[in-house]
Structure 1
């Protein structure tokens, strides 16, 4: 098996991923793997998803990319390529597996860096600049001023903590740091330092102000929009 990939950050020590044999349920993945197997499948409802096997030198990890995340996959996936992934480790039928919200090939991400250099933008705005995706490659390759928006307010973040000394050096390249919430600002500030401007995600209120009410029938109804995260307050509703 090929060795696990090492991604070298400029003027910093190499950053390697957490090995599969070390993973535990609930951990967040933002790293690289060898893509051992790809299968295109469908749920009982006919919705498409990917059934993957990720690998490194310590073993393999089954992973799923469900329909919504599959729509965001920028390139076709080919077995035996290195891929960058973002997701979470879960337990399914007694074994660990990963549910991925992002996956792309390392080759495609490198091509994004070349495209960015050719375009020559005046300003580059990246989202979650330290996730192993297009934003990270833009951060590393851009020569224009960088604006970064941070979204994650999740704690604990063990990998974030471990990489903080390296990421702080990279964060010096950011001209403006934005967070979508106080929680996201707190998580990023704790690891990176610096000043963050909180700008919440926008909502087009005019679009909903003229919406026709749904006919849901008698009885109480509850609509919850958001992740099932403690800070979202779902427990207060139920």
Structure 2
């Protein structure tokens, strides 16, 4: 009688391991170096009040700070309060921000959030994340920027730059902005939390660029997990053209 082959028991799916972070010692060194490099970090969006910052940040989604500033200089000159923004109207706002991506929807949101600030918050920009995110066009990232910049809260808003830097360095790896934000909240030493958002975003914007990170002038390169590090183009070009490989 032929024995039936034994069935191999199904393998249990391997548990996913959480991405390894740099550890507290390297994290401390990274923030200390970024703080030394930019001792007075702040947003590059131009604003004169919590309301104008709120509008500027809401407009900055899928747009550059330079482009937003160019549009809001004229807009804020005539409408720097919720009341004045409502007087300008949706079409008036739209005329000023046509150079910014998604301008039609953003103009609609600016008018709607201005109305809600007047109706629900007495004309003042609310100070808490829960209240801020009730405003049309205001998500968690926008709320965190406003809370950090004008109200001094140690919040970290994760945009594409911070997402990239956090994953490349190993500082707070994650697959989504919310995961990265939670990671940064967990690993950032308390004394660096107030400036962390600005240090990381400016570092990503000017040094740890998306296509070609400038590793040769990066102040945190020695602790960063990103490989391969980008070589200094000046030094590479000084070596001259590479000799052709000999055929065997």
The verdict on a shared fold, with TM-score over 0.5 as the criterion, is no
- Give the TM-score of the pair, scaled to structure 2: 0.23
Q: Which has the higher strand share?
A: 1
Larger C-alpha radius of gyration, 1 or 2? 2
Q: Which has the higher helix share?
A: 2
- Give the TM-score of the pair, scaled to structure 1: 0.23
